[in-house]
Amino acid sequence: MIRTVIRCQNDMVIVFDDEGKQIPTYQGHYPEVREHVLTDALLNAVFAHGFNSSGELRRIAREEW
C-alpha cells in the first residue's frame, strides 16, 4: 500500500509503503508513473515535493501533486 510519495526536483518519484520500504513498481519519472500512483495510493497517503535547499520536504495536497 502506498503511504508516502515524493516528487523530487528532477521529476523522479520515490514511493514508500506504510513500513517505510520503497515500492519500486511505482517509482520512476513523474509523467510515466503519475496516474498509476494516484490510482493506487491510500486516501490518507502523504504527497510531497522535495527536497528544498535545506533538505526538507514540502507536503502538498494530493490534487496538487
Write out pLDDT tens, residues 8-59: 989 999 999 999 999 999 999 999 999 999 999 999 999 999 876 777 889 9
What are the residue boundaries of the structural domains of the chain, listed by start?
2-60
Position 55 scores a pLDDT of 75
pLDDT of residue 2 exceeding 90, the answer is yes
DSSP character string of 11-58: SEEEEEETTS-B-GGG-EEHHHHHHHHHHHEEEEEEEEEE--TTS--E
pTM equals 0.89
Position 54 scores a pLDDT of 75
